[in-house]
Structure 1
Amino acid sequence: MVNTGDTAWILVSAALVLLMTPGLALFYGGMVRAKSVLNMMMMSFGALALISVLWVLYGYSIAFGDDLGAGLLGDPTQYFGLKGLMEDTTSEEGGLPVMAFVGFQAVFAIITVALISGAIADRAKFGAWMVFAGVWATVVYFPVAHWVFDFSLDEHVGGWIANNLAAIDFAGGTAVHINAGAAGLALALVLGKRRGFGREAMRPHNLPLVMIGAGLLWFGWFGFNAGSALAANNTASVAWVNTLVATAAATLGWLLVEKIRDGHSTSLGAASGVVAGLVAITPACSAVSPVGAIIVGAIAGALCALAVGLKYKLGYDDSLDVVGVHLVGGLWGTIAIGFLADPDAPAGVESLFFGGSVDQLWRQVVGAVAVLAFSFILTLVIGFVIQKTMGFRITEEDEITGIDNVVHAESGYDFASLGSSGSTAPLAGQARAEARNTERTLA
């Protein structure tokens, strides 16, 4: 029997998570310079379009098909094109139509790929990014989703992290955030630094966009975390409350670090703190108490606020702090389960501080490090191959001109049309100026 209440919750949760990708586009788009805003947003929308198609063709099958051996990979042909799944009444999760679960997991794949784009803002060819997104999802995300999210049930054999290692990752600290953060670091190394990195100010061009994007991410994240209970039940309720309070604590933690370090708290810091808290609580929201969630969030906010400065000390250009927020926040949230998991929480495991056990701690560390290493190494290989074949980075001249104009033949802000109503004077003046410049060049 289909549980209509649970099905409705999962479909709504999937829609909330889908909203996170346009929210991410706004968040990232506001953080770059005006000449790059459209390209930044297009990378998120491009990922949304491409990964949706690949997920239906073979991504779901690789992630949730029967394991081919050692818990590493699902059978890519088993559900190719989602064949046979429309006929099933309910999934193995109990009471859910299989297609509801397919849709819910699809939006996780989409947002993971989109997150990576923030590390290479201002300098990546859109075509190369789309090729990378498809290849990376195929050889990195889909297999890692199998490791982390595919649980063995009855005769079905799932992934090694979920079943053999028994590490807890409720909604994607490893599969989503560590995975994307490690990939972002690798791509930043492949593409190199932006022109003027460390010398020129590269301030966000539109902080209201950043704040709106952060708000949409927070809103959508309730579907991300609470929806991962796969039912409208107590586990979803605990995850919802923990997501709220951890994010709030992280925002306060980030703002406090800014106030102590810089003398002022900023809107960009508040938005970044929101995302840091959301990232950190994602794996732990079913395993910690609300007080534990406050601790996880507060430490995440402070830790990520400090970590974003590492790129200047270590010399890698992670444009929008994918490493500092998603990799560092994801590592902390995943490993924090080993310290702060409460046996009374839905996950029901003991931790070092609640039960005196280190058993879960080592499992969390192994799972986190395995995903980090796998993603980083394979992303380096994929990035270098694309760079050497079709070229991944735009030219320095195009970077100076602005990637929006060069790659997309568009501008985020058409200042030429801001003259008085009905007047063509600004356009005429611009045309005369361009004509004079042309005459000087020819002379």
Structure 2
Amino acid sequence: MEENHSVAIVGDNPEALLLSVLYAEAGISNYLVGPFGDDGRTHANRPGLEEALWLLGIFKKSGKIRIRPDYDQLPLSQVKTLILTTHASRPDQTNALEMTVRNLAHGLATGTSLAFTGLCKPHYTSSVVKSIIENHGGLKMGVDLNLYYVPLFWAGEGIREFKEKRKVLAGFDGSFSTAFQEELLWVFPTLSLISKVEVAEASGLYCAVSREVSRALDLELAKISEAHGVNYDEVLELCRDTRITLTERSNPIPERESIGTSIALSNSQRRNGPRLVRAAHSVNEEYQSQIVDMIRRALVHCGYPFRRSKVAILGTDGLLKNPWSKPESPPLIESLRKKGARVSLYPGEIGSQPWAQMIGDHARVESSLLRTIANANCTVVALPKLSALELDADQLATEMNRPGAICDLTRVLEASNVEKAGLFYTTIGRGTLDT
């Protein structure tokens, strides 16, 4: 493969980061354009992001990846492959994407392979991206350069899983550059070719939408289980054992979950639009309030009011609106603070300083897990499995107030071990709470 930086990846989301490190891992040097410098931003402590950031540091030092804060700094005359990763979801994102395409079009070199990978409505690539390039760049698709669509969506999985998922490459009129195909195969081992771009656009969008619908079903079934005093995790386990298909539980990233539905619902009429998708989106928006209600009931079970109770939060998995983008305080912290609880946060191994600056006096941010849970009445566990290896039920019981409650959002603790240590254990869908 060429050692010069002939590939540029432009975007401000996790897909851009993952794509850049996977290219570098495959031996293909590249420019990464976006907010990926040492800016102290916070992010979800998901294994996929953690590993990608670690690899980014290595490849930056080796020179395989060169970060550029803005596309104006790209040597477009040397770029042979240009990849745009922004999702065409919210109006501000769509406007920014179209402005980027318009500004890049002037400098694209003849023979460039341009790939758009963001989720979008069917026909968006042809009606918007293709039209902008031809109108503002004076280049003819299929003659002066090639345009492709590759639906990419990171749903919180590890970097290996993201790499090994089957990818789709769509080209206009069935035209595919052999060089670009070979390049992608170095990065993604399983690649399917399709000549209908709008079908590829729909497949990427519908897969993302189905995730939110499945997540909504998961939350609704969990709520029914709670009402009937049934443990939803046990129901899922039985369904797996008996080969009955039922939605799998996952820890959501709220803004990620809603990208597909935001696109699907945009410009649709409420009366004749996709009602199930709209309902699923509404159900998932209630997830944070479900967590608050679970904490309230756990405190009541232990004999504590919300006001002045100490709630310790370990990790931020599933609590952040933006896994990567503008740093913001988890909505859960603000909800708990408004109810009078004292909140302490252990963000995980990603460092406490940027979190302390972001959250301010809304919560006490600790770099030590033990200091976070000291004298807590309730501990909310939102750590991914790999980051939760240090958790020990007996140690939690020693440090916390008694009686104490554990709300295990990521289900990384064994309920029996927690209860044996003398603490009350619950999670979403565990139908054992006092009402």
Quickly name the TM-score band, shorter chain normalised: under 0.3
- From the two aligned structures, give the one with the greater strand fraction: 2
Higher relative contact order (CA 8 A, sep 6+): 1
TM-score (norm 1): 0.26
The normalised TM-score by structure 2 is 0.26
Structure with greater proportional helix content: 1
